[in-house]
Amino acid sequence: MDKTLYLISRNSLLYCKEFSNSLSMNRLYSSFLRLRLAFFFVLSLWVPFLVQETYAAFTLDCATVVGIPPSECRILKSLYEYTSGHSWNNNANWWANSDPSTWYGITLSGWHVSEIRLFQNTLTLTLLPDFSFSWLTQLVTLDLGNNRITGEIPQNLVSWMSTLQRLNIEGNLFTWNIPPWLFQGLTNLRYLYFENNGLSGEIPATLFSSLSRLENLSFWGNAFSGAIPETLFSGLTSLRELSFFEN
């Protein structure tokens, strides 16, 4: 009898251990499943962004772009690459298809880029000495205001763009002297917004000499030094509004 009870107790104990082990394995398996589900959920959130960046990185090919000359496409490509286009607030359709007229901030007229409007879009760029928009021969509006463009302004950034009517590069992070012939050849420019850029040094007397059609000039909030040249505004015969304070 005692031996029988001993065997029953021993078997019961073994059963309880097996049952406990089974429960532990079930809990581990359930935890594994939950971790696996969480991993795939997080992965599903990141995959679209990874795909978009990978796509943009490997498809910046002007040979596939239609509707504009290759020279203009190369300017847009440089703008996107140099300003970390994948990190813009809005880069809808850029390099996602071959039609630049669908790209955020880009307007075409005929077979040319007529407007670039990327105001406050987290463009991050240190300007290179040879960077220029001058190949955009039919550009009417260039708006890169309130971004993070830094460095020395290239002499030929916008010079000789005779179709340009509106230029906005306000609220960036320039810290260098302004080139004396920066606005040379902008014979149709009407609106110029260059305020709050941290520009320093003396104001070149020739700076506005080509801007006979300019109507609105905003240059406040910089850090110019020296006296204002007497002839600085003499060629601005169409000027209606001038903001030049806090300099």
The tens digit of pLDDT for each residue in 100-136 reads: 999 999 999 999 999 999 999 999 988 877 889 999 9
| 141 Cβ contact partners less than 8 Å away, ≥ 6 residues apart | 107, 114, 115, 116, 117, 164, 165, 166
Would the pLDDT of 17 be above 80?
A: no
pLDDT for res 61: 87
| Residue among 114, 173, 128 nearest 146 (CA) | 173
Q: What is the pTM of this model?
A: 0.76
pLDDT for res 33: 56
Would the pLDDT of 48 be above 80?
A: no
Residue 112 or residue 36, greater confidence: 112
Mean pLDDT of the chain: 83
> Cα separation of 165 and 191, whole Å?
6
pLDDT for res 226: 85
| Residue among 207, 196, 194 nearest 234 (CA) | 207
Percentage above 90 pLDDT, the chain: 58
pLDDT for res 50: 45
CB 161 within 8 A of CB 136: yes
> Cα separation of 21 and 28, whole Å?
11
46-67: average pLDDT = 62
Residue 176 or residue 19, greater confidence: 176
CA angle, 233 as apex, 228 and 234 as ends, to 5°?
A: 120
Would the pLDDT of 222 be above 70?
A: yes
pLDDT for res 135: 93
Q: pLDDT band for position 8 (50/70/90)?
A: very low
pLDDT for res 69: 96
Would the pLDDT of 19 be above 50?
A: no
Would the pLDDT of 72 be above 70?
A: yes
Q: pLDDT band for position 13 (50/70/90)?
A: very low
One-letter-per-residue 3-state SS of the chain: CHHHHHHHHHHHHHHHHHHHHHHHHHHHHHHHHHHHHHHHHHHHHHHHHHHHHHHHHHCCCHHHCCCCCHHHHHHHHHHHHHCCHHHCCCCCCCCCCCCHHHCCCEEEECCEEEEEECCCCCCEEECCCCCCCCCCCCCCEEECCCCEEEECCCCCCCCCCCCCCEEECCCCEECCECCCCCCCCCCCCCEEECCCCCCEECCCCCCCCCCCCCCEEECCCCEECCCCCCCCCCCCCCCCEEECCCC
64-79: average pLDDT = 95
